[in-house]
Amino acid sequence: MSTTKLNQQHWALRINPGPVVGGFTSRQAGNLRFHSADQPAVATARHTVLAELGVVSFPLVETQQVHSDNVFVVTLSSLPEIKKSDGRYVAPASDALITTMSEVTLSLYYADCVPILLWLPGGRGIGLVHAGWRGSLQNVAGNTLSALCQLTNTSPAELHVILGPSICRDCYEVGPEVAEQAAILSNAEDFLSQQDGHWHLDLKSLNRRLLIEAGIAPERIEISSLCTRCQPDLFFSYRAEGPGCGEMGAFIAIL
């Protein structure tokens, strides 16, 4: 699978396996998360990248991002239920979104966690996952894949997945309580290791393993090698900058 391209301007990676479009923004796009005081700047930055994707006129649905394994199904009837007073669509208590609808954009915002995009050929369905360590250990990626297959009545073998830029193993030190939870998973040596007496977790490898266990073929999983902490010129990073840092966006839509 080769659906990505590197762009050192607003996008770190883009996908366009028509009629699906999507991608992961870079730091150059600006902060895309509405947690700062400068909300007009966030709104402008979002408008710019959505226009570049060709989806600026679509409803933009985002996850609440509570580090859970909850998957929200976006439908014509659910959209009015999650519309906020400011016009935004926020799926409550969720870290993943799936839909079969065209002309709706799924989104999440991140600054080290793993953003994951899923799609079926021909635009038959799409999904999006926010996977930090809590969500990853709860298998939010595998749950989302299974939910999308159930929604579309398809096999996991038909799906394509891309894991976007996120913190790498060397940069992601975790405490013993996290390591203990990760160690009980199968093939933990693939994503958990000790370096100089400290535990390190590879979130990309962990989510790859969980997706394969959920039934997707390994050759249909593409993983970005870009690390959000290693490249401060290209990405925001919570681990590098602390609370209040900006966040990139991940988007996917069916045209």
DSSP letter string over the chain? ---EEE-SSSEEEEE--TTEEEEEE-GGG---STTSS-HHHHHHHHHHHHHHHT-TTS-EEEE---SS--EEEE-TTHHHHHB-TTS-EEETT-SEEEE--SS-EEEEEESSSEEEEEE-GGGS-EEEEEE-HHHHHTTHHHHHHHHHHHHHT--GGG-EEEE-S---TTT-EE-HHHHHHHHTSTTGGGTEEEETTEEEE-HHHHHHHHHHHTT--GGGEEE----TTT-TTT---HHHH-TT---EEEEEEE-
pLDDT of residue 176: 97
Examine the pLDDT at 255 and tell me if it is beyond 70. Answer: yes
Residue 104 included in any domain: yes
Average pLDDT, the chain: 95
Give the mean model confidence (pLDDT) for residues 80-104.
Answer: 96
Mean pLDDT over 105-116 rounds to: 97
Say which CATH number the domain at 43 has.
3.60.140.10
Confidence of residue 7 (pLDDT cuts 50, 70, 90): low
> Looking at the predicted structure, is the pLDDT value of residue 199 above 70?
yes
Q: Above 90 in pLDDT, residue 9?
A: no
The closest alpha carbon to 159, from 145, 141, 142, 140, belongs to 145
In a domain, 69, yes or no: yes
Residues with Cβ within 8 Å of residue 119, at least 6 apart in sequence = 15, 17, 20, 22, 125, 126, 127, 159, 160, 252
Is the model more confident about 3 or about 61?
Answer: 61
Q: Which pLDDT band holds residue 244 (cuts at 50, 70, 90)?
A: confident
Residue 148 lies in a domain: yes
- Total domain count, the chain: 1
Does residue 195 form part of some domain? no
Is the pTM for the entire model greater than 0.85? yes
How does residue 38 score in pLDDT terms, banded at 50, 70 and 90? confident
How sure is the predictor about 1, in pLDDT bands with cuts at 50, 70 and 90?
Answer: very low
pLDDT, residue 2, reads 45
Higher-confidence residue of 117 and 243: namely 117
Residue whose structure tokens are 């635009």? 123
Mean of the pLDDT values across residues 168-185? Answer: 97
Q: Region 17-41: what's the mean pLDDT?
A: 91
Answer whether residue 110 is part of any domain: yes
CB 155 within 8 A of CB 162: no
- For the ranges 37-46, 76-85, 122-131, 164-173, the lowest mean pLDDT is seen at 37-46
Helix axes 203-213, 140-152, angle to 10 degrees: 40
Q: Domain limits at 55?
A: 4-168+203-254
**Residue 180 domain flag:** no
Are the C-beta atoms of 50 and 80 separated by less than 8 Å?
no
